[in-house]
Structure 1
Amino acid sequence: MAGLLATGAERPAVHLVTDQFYRAIRTGFVPPFLPEAQRQNEVVVDAIAGVTATYARGGYDVVVDGIVGPWFLDPFRALAGELVVLRPALGATLERARGRADGELKDVGPITGMHAAFARLGDLEAHVVDSGHLDAEQTAAEVRRVLAAGAHRLISVR
């Protein structure tokens, strides 16, 4: 869906896949859902936010494609004009995970835990789109619609 969103954008856009930042770690990689991955995850999120900022300064809209835990949103809040959180129901999330390629996260425990973390977004709850009943094309169209409406603009937290 993120690829469709970036490819069909009206302005110059970048599709930034967060998994590539994790795959770049060749030695010492820790699966990001484990507690001992905290420092690694902080570094990776900092790198993703830095690349996002560089593209944005260059005039590109950036579609960040990946799971960014709510506890890691602050660097993106400082950069983003708008934010959309896609949060399908747990059943749809688990079904989609089962369809992932080999080597991708399919473990029910971490997926369920991450889904639960996204259930409590506080002031960002208004930025949630339930994409569980939508396919990729429909989800991209819905994200474009809510962004065009301006309902997902972030108010600076600084």
Structure 2
Amino acid sequence: MSHVVILSGPSGAGKSSVAEALAQRYDRTVHLETDLLFRAIRMGHIHPMQPESDRQNRMIARAAARAASAFAQDLFAVFIDGVIGPHLLPIYVDELKVAAVPVHFVLLLPSVEESIRRVTPRAADRRMIDAEHRELHRQFAGHGEFAGCIIDNTAMTAEETADVVMESCGRGDCLVYTPV
């Protein structure tokens, strides 16, 4: 049976590494990185952290969910990774309903220090990364109650985190949509 797992969290949370580790565990898988969709916008791109990016961020959510739906309908397990705020989750769920597959939402949330440590080698401007990560972490950690599950993977490898994601999804802890 196919399913969709949405992996969210700040940069450096391990979303892409965990999605790859999960994708290696199934026969038919797709790893959709929302970053690729953001990079596809050539003219008119707005940094997703800017307040005026809301329309663009919602469009990317729809595009990612529609692509995931197409793959899931063809019996692929789909792993979406991106900095996906809980406010965008309803867009994903609405677009994925047509696929009639279970949808899981997992927030990977290592400590802010670990997240910054992981992303620093990729960063051009350390000060901007520090400020952006602290703000993202504050938003995710302070969001309170939301659908899905939170995994603190501060001290875990990608493989260990993938194990916890599989166990949590298998128990239904991260389930945000079940087809009727």
TM interval, short-chain normalised: 0.7 to 0.9
Query: Are 2:138 and 1:122 equivalent residues in the alignment?
Result: no
Q: Please state whether the residue corresponding to 1:40 is helix, strand or coil.
A: helix
Does the 8 A contact of 2:114 with 2:154 survive in 1? yes
Cα 1:42–1:152 change in 2 (3 A) is closer
Query: Partner of 1:7 in structure 2?
Result: 24
Q: Please state whether the residue corresponding to 2:105 is helix, strand or coil.
A: coil
Q: Which moved more, 1:72-81 or 1:28-37?
A: 72-81
Q: What whole-Å deviation, never above 9, does each CA across 1:23-74 have from its counterpart, x for those lacking one?
A: 1011111111111222211211111111111112221221011111121111
Q: Distance in 2 between matches of 1:7 and 1:151?
A: 22
Cα 1:155–1:94 change in 2 (3 A) is same
Unmatched segments (≥5 aa) in structure 1: none
Which TM-score applies when normalising by structure 2?
A: 0.75
Q: What whole-Å deviation, never above 9, does each CA across 1:86-138 have from its counterpart, x for those lacking one?
A: 111211111112132659xx6222222211121114133x6111111111111
- Select the structure with the greater relative contact order (CA < 8 A; seq sep ≥ 6): 2
Deviation of 1:82 (Å): 2.1
Cα 1:123–1:66 change in 2 (3 A) is closer
Query: Are 2:80 and 1:58 equivalent residues in the alignment?
Result: no
Which protein is richer in strand relative to its size?
Answer: 2
Q: Please state whether the residue corresponding to 1:107 is helix, strand or coil.
A: helix
Query: Partner of 2:86 in structure 1?
Result: 70
RMSD (Å), alpha carbons: 2.1
Q: Distance in 2 between matches of 1:121 and 1:82?
A: 18
Runs of 4+ in 1 over 6 A off after TM superposition: none
Unmatched segments (≥5 aa) in structure 2: 1-17, 97-101
Cα 1:96–1:18 change in 2 (3 A) is same
Query: Partner of 2:135 in structure 1?
Result: 113
Deviation of 1:12 (Å): 2.1
Q: Distance in 2 between matches of 1:122 and 1:85?
A: 12
Which TM-score applies when normalising by structure 1?
A: 0.84
Q: Which moved more, 1:16-25 or 1:80-89?
A: 80-89
Report the count of equivalent residues: 152
Q: Please state whether the residue corresponding to 1:82 is helix, strand or coil.
A: strand
